[in-house]
Every structure is written in structure tokens, then in C-alpha cells.
Amino acid sequence: MFSKGSRYESVPDATWTDPSGRPIRHKRIRVIQHPRIQGRHLVVQGDRLDRLAFELYRDAERFWRVADANLALWPDDLLAEPGRILDVPTSEG
């Protein structure tokens, strides 16, 4: 259902039954564990998470690794303030 490398790839499926008896398939809650940190990134004006992820991991779609490492509820908020220092996680684990 999710592509290889997706942050939801390993999240287990579950089923909930609505009041009418219809089963609804969904993913369980994804628990974010603090990843290993490989360095830091100083946010500058014009930064974008997809570009940063490509620079770090050669995969723009892995921007969520940086978001998770910095406990971002809204990933774009990480880059809203130039001068902020972000934790940069390893590409896996």
C-alpha cells in the first residue's frame, strides 16, 4: 500500500468496525523513535526540506527523516526561522 522507504511502510494495519458493521482498514499510530543523529543543519532563508533530504540522502522524499528527528508536527515550520539548528538523522534507524 505504501512505497518502499515510506515512513508508514512498517506500520501495522488494523481494522475498525463502524456502528453499521462496516470494517474500515487503517494504519496503526506510527510511533516516532528518536533516530541516530549524524550532524546538524543551520537553517538559511530559502531552505526546503525536500532539497535538504536530497542533499543528505539522495532522496527528496525522505524529508520526513529530518522532520521526525526534530519532532515537527508541521514539517515546513522547521524552516520558518533562519538561524535555527536542526538535528540531521542518519538515513536509516
Q: What is the pLDDT of residue 32?
A: 78
How many Å apart are CA 66 and CA 46, to the nearest integer? 17
Q: What is the pLDDT of residue 9?
A: 82
Cα atoms found within 13 Å of the Cα of residue 40, Cβ hemisphere only: 4
Domain layout of the chain by residue ranges: 13-89
pLDDT by residue, tens only, the chain of 93 residues: 677 777 778 889 999 999 999 999 999 987 777 889 999 999 999 999 999 999 999 999 889 899 999 998 888 899 999 999 999 999 876
Phi-psi region of 89 (alpha: psi -120 to 50; beta: other; left: phi over 0): beta
Q: What is the pLDDT of residue 93?
A: 63
Cα atoms found within 13 Å of the Cα of residue 28, Cβ hemisphere only: 7
How many Å apart are CA 37 and CA 82, to the nearest integer? 21
Cα atoms found within 13 Å of the Cα of residue 2, Cβ hemisphere only: 12
